[in-house]
Every structure is written in C-alpha cells, then in structure tokens.
Copies of this chain bind each other. A is one copy, B any other.
Amino acid sequence: MTEAARDTKSARTRRRVVDAAAHVLLRRGYAGTRLADVAEVAQVQAPAIYYYFSSRDELIDEAVAVGLDRARSLVTEALAAAPADAPAIDRLAIAVAAHLRTLLTHSDHAAAAVRTVPQLPEAMRERHRQAQRDYVDVWRALVAQVREEGDLDPALDPGTALMVVLGALNWTAEWWDPARGSLEGVIDAAQRLVRDGLAAAEEP
C-alpha cells in the first residue's frame, strides 16, 4: 500500500514508454533513438514522456537497466528450473538456450541492453557496469563448475572462452531472421558448438 507497486493506469503508461524505448533502442541504437519514435510506439505525445522521465538519457538508462536485469533473471530462472544436480555442462546448455530465447524472441529490453551497452556514452555505461558484471557472473560461475567437473578443456582460459561464447550468442541478434531459420535450429547449433568447443579432449 505504502509503495506504488500497484498496477495503476499511470504505472501502465510508464511501462509502455519504457517498453517502447527498448523497442526503438533495439532497432536504431543509442544515438538513433528519437523521443518522437518512442512516443509513437508508446501511443503518447512526445512531451508526455517528460512527465515520467526528466530527460532522454534517463529514459534510455532505465530501459537498459530493465533489460540487463531481465537478461540475468531469465537465465537464472531457467537454471533454477533445471535439476540442480545435473552436470554443469548440461546446465550451461540450458543457459545458452535461455539466453538465445530471451534475446531473440522474448525481450526487446534484454536484446536492446545487450546490443546497445557498447555504444552508450561512457558516463552511462559506467552506471551499468555492476549490472553487467552481475549478469556475466552467472555465466562465470557456470563455467567454473564445468571446470571443476573436469569437462573444460584445460588449455582454455575460462574467462576468455566465456566471452567468446557470449559473443557468439549476442551476435545472433544481428543476423537471425525468424522468417528464415527456426529458433530451435540456432539454439541447437549454439549448444553443440559450446558443448564440444569447451569440452576437454576425450581420454586417449
């Protein structure tokens, strides 16, 4: 009651604006995101945005924050739903699938955040460092487990390998076209590449 977590009309409008911002951000990038476009998508007059946010940057900032958080929580939830005692390499495959699903079909926010962060002005990127780190840390932990279980090629540096893998996933947003390949196809390819790519060589 004290908190305005209630789903009032105002809250819904505000959410529509943030959603619209993510939508535009995803397609146009940071510099290309115009308030007029956001307003149109959100079904609002442009200046109305200023009732909720005091500047364009503040809006974008929030959209990115929501996106990073969502990316992390969706992956985390997928992992929570899996048997906790499954081999780490299997849990990693689950994370791969969750990440791709989120990025490619579930959340404009997550996709926008992941793809836009690198273009943000330094000050703003700084503000999201922590969230970004939190997100990557989920993965780091997974990779560490994989290593403990002896399923990681010892010649691979875990940190570098992880970034290469995440890159493969993130870039899918640039080329994947729902009209062409199926989402499942991409997930399958990514999972295979990650599994076999990270895998320790077979016993000789």
Contact = CB atoms under 8 A, between A and B. Distances in A.
A178 interface: no
A28 B171 CA distance: 17
How many chain copies does the complex carry? 2
B156 A192 contact: yes
Interface string A19-45: 000000001111110000000000000
Interface stretch (A48-56, A74-82, A87-95, A182-190): A182-190
Interface string A125-158: 0000000000000000000000000000101110
Contact of A196 (B157, B174, B175, B197): B197
Contacts of A197: 192-194, 196-197
B202 A161 contact: no
Nearest to A32: B31
26 contacts: A28-B119, A29-B119, A31-B32, A32-B32, A118-B174, A118-B175, A153-B196, A156-B192, A157-B181, A159-B181, A160-B181, A163-B171, A163-B172, A164-B168, A164-B190, A165-B168, A166-B171, A167-B170, A168-B171, A170-B171, A170-B174, A171-B171, A193-B197, A193-B198, A196-B196, A196-B197
Q: Which 6 A-B pairs have the closest CB atoms?
A: A167-B171, A31-B32, A197-B197, A168-B168, A193-B197, A31-B31
For this complex, into which size category does the number of interface residues on chain A fall? 35 or more
A199 interface: yes
